[in-house]
Amino acid sequence: MARLPYLTRDDLPEADREIYDRFVQERGAAPGHVHRIVANAPNLLRRFLGLANELRNGTQLDPRLRELALMTVGRIAGAEYEFTHHWNISLRVGVRREQLEKLAEYETSPVFNDHERAVMRYAAETTSNIKVSDATFAALRGFLDNRRIMELAMNVAFYNAVVRILVPMGVELEPEAKRG
């Protein structure tokens, strides 16, 4: 059970209700539980949504690589909410189901290529240790430019923050949220 309430549009101060309205307009769906729990601090929700949108829609990083990194964060953190939502996003951007089913075996499974492994290794090291080995960083340098490395770093950092909201706050999956 969530430790804070999932706020609705009407629970927000009138001046902040446009946050929900804009969310629905931009995404074509109502805010999920993660957004509704962050809404307990509407000022932070506004910035949270802005950064999330930019990371998802405003970067040059291959969305498949981004999602493999985010699935790695969710898996390591045990964040079922993130894992389920990003499972479906991953499928939509072209990650293969067999890859999602083998995430824990990314280092040895033949369903991943060297670039995918490097991105997942970066996400795993960052999530588990914060520090990233020189070998892992060198592998990224082999196929990503500085911009895309920073976009990967920001995505992994942001979603590490997200799982540290989801898990401690007890954010539950929405009843309709299922892995595709």
Task: Tell me the pTM.
Answer: 0.95
pLDDT of residue 100: 98
pLDDT of residue 125: 98
- Residues 139-153: pLDDT tens digits? 999 999 999 999 999
The tokens describing 140, both together, are: 């990224």
> CB 129: neighbour CB atoms within 10 A?
9
78: CATH? 1.20.1290.10
Number of domains composing the chain: 2
DSSP 8-state secondary structure symbol assigned to residue 172: P
Is residue 53 domain-shared with residue 113, that is, in the same domain? no
Is residue 53 domain-shared with residue 110, that is, in the same domain? no
pLDDT of residue 180: 87
Sequence-distant (6+) residues with CB within 8 A of 54 are none
Dihedral sign (CA 87, 101, 71, 59): negative
Dihedral sign (CA 102, 100, 2, 19): positive
Is residue 96 domain-shared with residue 115, that is, in the same domain? yes
Is residue 159 domain-shared with residue 75, that is, in the same domain? yes
44: containing domain: 9-57
Is residue 99 domain-shared with residue 25, that is, in the same domain? no
pLDDT of residue 135: 98
- Compute CA 123 distance to the chain's CA centroid, rounded to the nearest angstrom: 11
The verdict on residue 78 lying in a domain is yes
- Residues 27-37: pLDDT tens digits? 999 999 999 99
Is residue 39 domain-shared with residue 99, that is, in the same domain? no
- 42-50: average pLDDT: 96
Question: Contact 152/144 with Cβ under 8 angstroms?
Answer: yes
Is residue 87 domain-shared with residue 103, that is, in the same domain? yes
Q: How wide is the angle at C-alpha 49 spanned by C-alphas 97 and 69, nearest 5°?
A: 30
Is residue 98 domain-shared with residue 136, that is, in the same domain? yes
Confidence of residue 91 (pLDDT cuts 50, 70, 90): very high
**Is 95 buried (19+), middle (13-18) or exposed (0-12) by CB count in 10 A?**
buried
